[in-house]
Amino acid sequence: MTVCSAPGKVYLFGEHAVVYGEPAIPCAIEQRASVSVEPREDDHVRVTAEDLSLDGFTVEYAGDGEERPDVDVPANLVEAAMGYIDHAVEQARDAADAPDAGFDITVESEIPLGAGLGSSAAVVVAGIDAATRALGVELDRREIADRAYQAEYEVQDGEASRADTFCSAMGGAVRVEGDDCEPIDAPNLPFVVGFDGGAGDTGKLVAGVRELREEYDFAADTVETIGDVVREGEELLADAEPGSEPSPELLAELGELMDFDHGLLSALGVSARSLDSMVWGAREAGAHGAKLTGAGGGGCIVALDPADATETALSYTRECEEAFRAELATEGVRVEEA
């Protein structure tokens, strides 16, 4: 059995705008998805998902993707989860030149599904790495990231960016602008995450921004302004010592940009009452800045606070189901002990 894991992520800046070629800075976090793969004698694929914020399911099929688990969760999340696994299997078969390879796959994850923390990217990245290794092929991280992006691109009807998959494969902080993806240095940012227990519909939210952008010039300007915020943040990070504890001054400046970014995302219609409530709860507790992370519509917010106040405040915020500290993951996809 081959077991690989990959980290989730938070967006420091840039979600949604990255779809239109603007830069984004996602950061990997030490909440991971783990994928175990065992080759089969036939061409079937048997998938067991232990959590993914669902009740768990097992499904076996012949690789045609027609059979789906019967679980009491939103259908779009189940369809997406299975779609990501299907396309990860396709990419692994292609990379190993083994079109008829079958697998027993087990997915375990610490990352809430559809909550803006990159659960799908982590599953696809870890799945491709584990499946190709199980077939005797080792890919470098950039190829894993590229193949994982191709899988997400198919599932998300061409609306995916390279940000999530590249960040999950490489670890640390990364800068993504179109097809240009590079790791960047960053201090040890004190992330606090608040989760409302829900999930946004990524495809619907991305489509909504696209419609606004096409209809209104000010919406297109808003997308470009998010890109400007990212560039300001990148300059701040470039002056910080990699891996160091950030100064209060740096956190204050980054936090102010995060607040701007959240306001711009809200103007594009991708926030939600629960997310805004958590953002304000974090700010009122003394966080340097707070914003939604990911597609929005529900899910998670991320705040900067080295103290315990924000995590405590979020845990008492009615709309927050879970609050936790998220450490920057300096290592991306990796092989685990079987």
Residues in the chain, overall count: 338
Q: Is 242 left (phi over 0), alpha (psi -120 to 50) or beta?
A: beta
In this predicted model, what pLDDT tens digit does every residue of 30-78 receive, in sequence order? Answer: 999 999 999 999 998 888 876 654 444 455 545 444 555 444 444 555 5
Q: Which residue has the tokens 């450490």?
A: 327
Question: Which pLDDT score, from 0 to 100, does residue 52 have?
Answer: 52
In this predicted model, what pLDDT tens digit does every residue of 216-235 receive, in sequence order? Answer: 999 999 999 999 999 999 99
Percent of the chain that is helix, strand, coil (3-state, to 5): 40, 25, 35
Question: Which pLDDT score, from 0 to 100, does residue 79 have?
Answer: 61
User: Which domains does the chain show, CATH number per domain?
Assistant: 2-184 (3.30.230.10), 191-326 (3.30.70.890)
Mean pLDDT of 297-322: 96
- % residues pLDDT > 70 (the chain): 90
Confidence of residue 242 (pLDDT cuts 50, 70, 90): confident
In this predicted model, what pLDDT tens digit does every residue of 89-131 receive, in sequence order? Answer: 999 999 999 999 999 999 998 887 778 899 889 999 999 999 9
Pairing of strands 45-49, 102-109: parallel
Tell me if 102 sits within 8 A of 45, measured CB to CB. Answer: yes
The token pair at 20 is 């239109």
Torsion sign over Cα 67, 70, 75, 78: negative
Task: Tell me the backbone φ, ψ of residue 169, rounded to 5 degrees.
Answer: -70, -40
Confidence of residue 81 (pLDDT cuts 50, 70, 90): low
Least confident range from 48-57, 60-69, 247-256, 316-325: namely 60-69
Mean pLDDT of 155-164: 79
Mean pLDDT of 231-243: 92
The set of residues, in sequence order, having a beta carbon less than 8 Å from that of 147 and lying 6+ positions away, is 91, 94, 95, 128, 139
pLDDT at residue 249 above 90? yes
Is 12 in a helix, a strand, or coil? strand
- Total Cβ atoms within 10 A of residue 92: 27
Active site (catalytic) residues: 164
